[in-house]
Amino acid sequence: MPSSGSGTMTPITSGAAIGLQIAQPLPYTLLSIHRYAKIMGISPLHFARGGTPGLNPIIFPDHGCNDTWFKYDWQDADKVSWWQLVHEISAAEQEIANIVGYWPAPLWFAEETRMYERPGMREYHGDGYGLRGVDKGVKTRYGKIVEAGRRAVTLIGSATVGGGSLTYTDEDGDGFFETATVTLATTITDPRQIKMYFSGKDGEIDWEVRPLRSLTISGGFVTAILDSWLLIDPELYEEYPSSDGIEAIDVSTTANFVTTVDLYREYSDPSQASTQLVWESSCEVCGGTGCAVCTAATQDGCLGIRDYNLGIVIPKPASYDAVEGEWEYAILDRYYEPDIVRLWYKAGDLDQAYVKNKSIDPLSNFWAQVIAWMATARLDRPLCGCANVKSKVDDLQKDLSTTTREMGRFFSPDVLGCPFGPRKGEVMAWRRIKYLVKDKVPSYALV
């Protein structure tokens, strides 16, 4: 889905996992798993599988609550893993998008294929214009378009511990280095375009480090501040269980934190085609001699936007002028309209705090809670043994469609009509968003 960036990378070097390079990223979700932990009241260090056995007193003690999380189910079969959690979050986000017609926060969509619209009146077919005499529109699969174009990333720089641009600090003097700070020179002026990634990953979206506490630009320098445990070496999460069991990652010192991270600018590349017009193969052009029967003809173009909320876009044939840095109109390669179009765009809802440049996370608390409720309701194993978290999970997982001999229940329309399911977390999510369904993108295009 997203395209990758370019630049010179520095391999991750830290801790006992130096040189292994076997870590796999978790699938990208709009709600990051660490933000999920905050919503659910889970200890952030334990959620990151961290512990501080080398400190006295121990920071983030378990107090009898064995809630250390692991990346995979097979590392601890009795508890939910990151892997299961992220897939439930992903499924919840997809279902929400299908119901309301747009994603809770922006995603990049690549090579989405849509039929080129044809009017009912045959005499209007073939000229590329609708009944109003303007270019024909095509409906995207999802609404709330942010911009047309393909995702691109450009390396701003690599921050390193050795170079002093990545530092770990103990802000409160308790012996635990809980804060990581990255400072690099940049010419970027919009902090929302700057993303942090683990080093050597080419800015792949699955490797983004989030959430950050803050990211600011001042005097030609970008400064990012985050919780240090977000930079635990990814290789350490791949540890295999042994006869001695599997333990928390020791973060009493910074030895198990990465020593390098990359900052990238993420943006829509204006030089890449945001649409492609496609014609099915036809031998009329070449007269039937040497014709590639099953090869479609394509023409690049740019994508105009007619309605941002409904997702109505205008595919236009065009060529890119590298000197002027813009797309210029071109005539169709064929003498008739294309059969289908391929689209590249970014779409999804935007938090107003993000729009006003007061937040670097476009996912609002409204949607973050909805996603967390749904995902939690569907987990099939306990999150942890902590009483506060367990009670919240048990409540969200109650099946509101069942009755017992001891307890009857009145089934409200929200329970019976909930498209997500009958569990309380699913019903809570539906009650919050059901009024948004009326704004769902229609299944037709405005030509």
Q: Is residue 129 part of a domain?
A: yes
Q: Is residue 119 part of a domain?
A: yes
Surface-to-core class of residue 103, CB atoms within 10 Å of its CB (0-12 exposed, 13-18 middle, 19+ buried): buried
Q: Is residue 128 part of a domain?
A: yes
Q: Are 176 and 55 in contact (CB under 8 A)?
A: yes
Q: Is residue 313 part of a domain?
A: yes
Per-residue pLDDT of the chain (447 residues; tens, 9 = 90+): 444 443 433 333 334 444 445 889 999 999 999 999 999 999 999 999 999 999 988 888 876 566 789 999 998 888 899 999 999 999 999 999 999 999 999 999 999 999 987 766 665 556 565 556 567 889 999 999 999 999 999 999 999 999 999 999 999 999 999 999 999 999 999 999 999 999 999 999 999 999 999 999 999 999 999 999 999 999 999 988 888 888 899 999 999 999 999 999 999 999 999 999 999 876 555 555 556 667 788 999 999 999 999 999 999 999 999 998 899 988 888 878 888 999 999 999 999 999 999 999 999 999 999 999 999 999 988 887 678 888 999 999 999 888 765 555 666 788 888 999 999 999 999 999 999 986 665 544 444
Phi, psi of 152 (to 5 degrees): -140, 150
pTM as predicted? 0.88
pLDDT tens digits for range 294-322:
778 899 999 999 999 999 999 999 999 99
Residues 6 or more apart whose CB falls under 8 angstroms from that of 387 comprise: 65
Phi, psi of 348 (to 5 degrees): 150, 165
> For residues 348 and 206, what is the distance between their CA atoms, to the nearest angstrom?
18
Domain count, the chain: 1
pLDDT tens digits for range 396-429:
999 988 876 555 566 678 888 899 999 999 999 9
Q: Is residue 126 part of a domain?
A: yes
Cα angle value 78/84/89 (rounded, 5°)? 140
Q: Do strands 297-307 and 275-279 pair parallel, antiparallel, or not at all (unpaired)?
A: antiparallel
135: containing domain: 108-148+271-352
Q: Is residue 165 part of a domain?
A: no
pLDDT of residue 126: 61
Q: Is residue 46 part of a domain?
A: no
Q: Is residue 311 part of a domain?
A: yes
Q: Is 306 helix (H, G, I), strand (E, B) or coil?
A: strand
